[in-house]
Amino acid sequence: MIYLPTCQSTNDEAADLVRLGQGWEGTVVITDFQTAGRGQRGNQWLAQAGENFMLSLILRPHFLSPSQQFRLNVAISVGIYEFFKPYLGKSLKIKWPNDVYVDDQKLGGVLIENSIQGGRLEASIVGMGLNINQLLFENPRATSLRKATQKEYVREELLPDLLASLEKNYLLLRNGHFDALKMRYLQSLFRYQEQHNFRQAENVFTGMIVGVTDAGLLAVQIDNRLAYFDFKEISYEFGC
């Protein structure tokens, strides 16, 4: 484990280790504050210093081909979900592709950056921003474990449980149990098999999430047809 009081991005620091040949599987880079944290779709990840988990995990999933990289996303999402589940119960959900939600508010997110070599995943850098004790957010749709449970937590006491849950589910994936992981992912999926509004560009439509393909596409039933959407093609409408 490498602790940095502050850094630009734990994913950048982890990527430097991989480039230098020091990115051993299981290495964790963790910080109290990121000056340029990144999220999905190029979004910036903002968090108060010393309140949350901001870390990157280096993995070497050589057993996965490039076409199977979403499987790692499933295992990591389930690992985070199972870490939070004892504290949050049924209000906790995985929001496709890999955010964690409490009711309609975001608790955390994941950014996985993969490098491919020789037809396999050579290295994966799994960046996580998980809100633990922060109480004030610029985004009204953000929350934390403390806000949701009305209890303050010692991050150092929670960290071993988070890492153990991630390791457990990563090893399940490595040992060939993807079908069980995907079932767990779908059972925990935000708005799964419910009618809700979605947005694609300027178009708002009603549909129902019915699955996720092995490539990570979201399957949505719209009237009597199935449509498939990639990460940047669809967004959720809230208050609908």
The fraction of the chain above a pLDDT of 70, given in percent, is 95
Mean pLDDT of 108-130: 95
Asked if residue 39 has pLDDT above 60, the reply is no
Contact 229, 218 (CB under 8 A): yes
Query: Got the DSSP string for 156-190?
Result: HHHHHHHHHHHHHHHHHHHTT-HHHHHHHHHHTBT
- CB contact at 8 A, 125 and 18: yes
Please name the residue that has the structure tokens 């988990």.
Answer: 53
Q: Enter the tokens of residue 179.
A: 């079908």
Per-residue pLDDT, averaged over 108-115, amounts to: 96
DSSP-assigned letter for residue 142: B
**Residue 46: per-residue pLDDT:** 57
What mean pLDDT comes out for the span 212-228? 96
Tens digit of pLDDT for each residue in 25-35?
999 999 999 98
Confidence of residue 48 (pLDDT cuts 50, 70, 90): confident
DSSP H helical ranges for the chain = 10-19, 70-88, 145-149, 155-174, 178-187
Averaged pLDDT, 212-222: 97
- Summarised one tens digit per residue, pLDDT across range 128-180 is 999 999 999 989 999 999 999 999 999 999 999 999 999 999 999 999 999 99
Across all residues in the chain, what is the average pLDDT? 94
